[in-house]
Structure 1
Amino acid sequence: MTHTVRRTSRTLQVASAGAAALIALSACSSSSGSTASDSGSSATVSGPNGLSGTVTVFAAASLKESFTTLGKEFEEKHPGTEVNFSFGGSDSLAASITGGAPADVFAAASSKTMAIVTAAGNVSSPPATFVRNQLEIATLPGNPDKISSLKDLTKSGLKVVLCDKEVPCGAAAQKALKAGKLTLKPVSYEQDVKGALTKVELKEADAAVVYKTDVHAAGDKVEGVEFPESANAINAYPIALLRDAPNAAAAKAFMALVQSVEGQQVLTEAGFLRP
């Protein structure tokens, strides 16, 4: 009996040593960038171009719907990647970037706000315009106040909301008002275009000057009214790779998707104008 036990013990020792050797061999043959999710090869996780990791994108609030869609498409095309967005007023985002916030890509709603980041030396290459956007008036569903022009927003008793003058949509609204030789005193200035739109959606305001894309995204929650002065205040949207981007390779690939035919289709369907 004792002899049998010793044989079994030696057999187990040999088997264990063999298994350990196989594990070591397997570990040596894997990529150093692989993770526990790499059940197959690293190409399955990293994608055909070897992309992996998180891409952090700071983007204007008006890009929320279209960029979220493009982010999902990017992740599907490049398994092992994740796109994290920070949406908000372009001026606030620019301040965060120049203040040292880590990010890979900046997509602004105006050249002026991108210039803040560029002047501070926070971009690694010249920004490129990828879309343009035009203003529109958002009214309550059914347009009960019969608003048909920018001038109508100056009516007494009408509660109108604008974006802050420092925000691209607010600066554009001021240009449009100047073009129409109009003076408007809003009930509030909002920090980004989504904040202005929400005031109307919640019926806290009768109207707001926002982008066409935001009216489109709101669906039947608001009604849009076009006005000719908006042609004098069309915003160009630049995008740039940031200096010291933590994941520059994946960031460049995301920017390429935004500027591709596929990306432009998503953006134009959301109401953006081509660059």
Structure 2
Amino acid sequence: MLDPSLSHLAVAGVLILITTLAFLPQLTILHDLSLDARIFFNFLVALTYLTYYLAVTTPPGRVPAGWTPVSVEAAALEDGSLSTSPAQPPTTSAAAADTSGEEPSPPTSTIISSPPRFCTPCNAFKPPRTHHCRVCSTCIPKMDHHCPWLSTCIGYSNHPHFLRFLCATTAAVTVLNFLLLGEWIALYDAWDLPAYLFPHGAWGMGLLVGVSLVGVVTGLVVFVLLCRSIGNAATGRTTIEAWEIERWEVRRRRRGVGGGVYPMDMGIYENMKVALGGR
């Protein structure tokens, strides 16, 4: 993972990459773009800037101070020990469950019926689907992953902006690559012409090659990340939960244990509505 002290430099690097791919080709090798194509492409570039800004500046979410699981509150009310003192780690089955070394339950039972989870660094209980980020030094509700390129965690509050950023970036880079492909086709058509009739000189050719390589690599990387993120969102999972389920599936197949049903999967439409910020 990227050194946290360099994360702000990574954000600057992403902005430089976006700006370079967006405007350098337009100012140098894409002189013959139609007005409609130029407006459409720059609209996608503006969306990329906007969604990146929102993804970076929107906090991922925080666990409410003093949050306590219902089961713990009920037990405390029953024995009269409920107070406003700082949360204390569970000392019964919850602690034993973390150190017993037994085969973990399927993801279904882990989310629905597991004992309350306690975060020692935060000295607080963790709600379901919450994970502690060592980089941010706090617990993140519905944590997806820590993204060094955004210098923040992707969690409950900013995950919709992150998905929109991936969509906008994929669309913008795809359009850019098609525009560059047009330049390559024009170059191929002019291959037999004298050098002075070529669409681009030596400097323009080098720039076309460089921008094309960076555009294709960037497009592939972002597209793969988008597919992975959309796949997880469509099944109601975060990236961390997807990794946990994959590990459990490997153990299940090795031991011949029966499968489970993931409880957060509400169907593709509802899952995507929630992932994009709907209720």
TM-score (norm 2): 0.19
TM-score (norm 1): 0.19
The structure that is strand-richer by fraction is 1
The structure that is helix-richer by fraction is 2
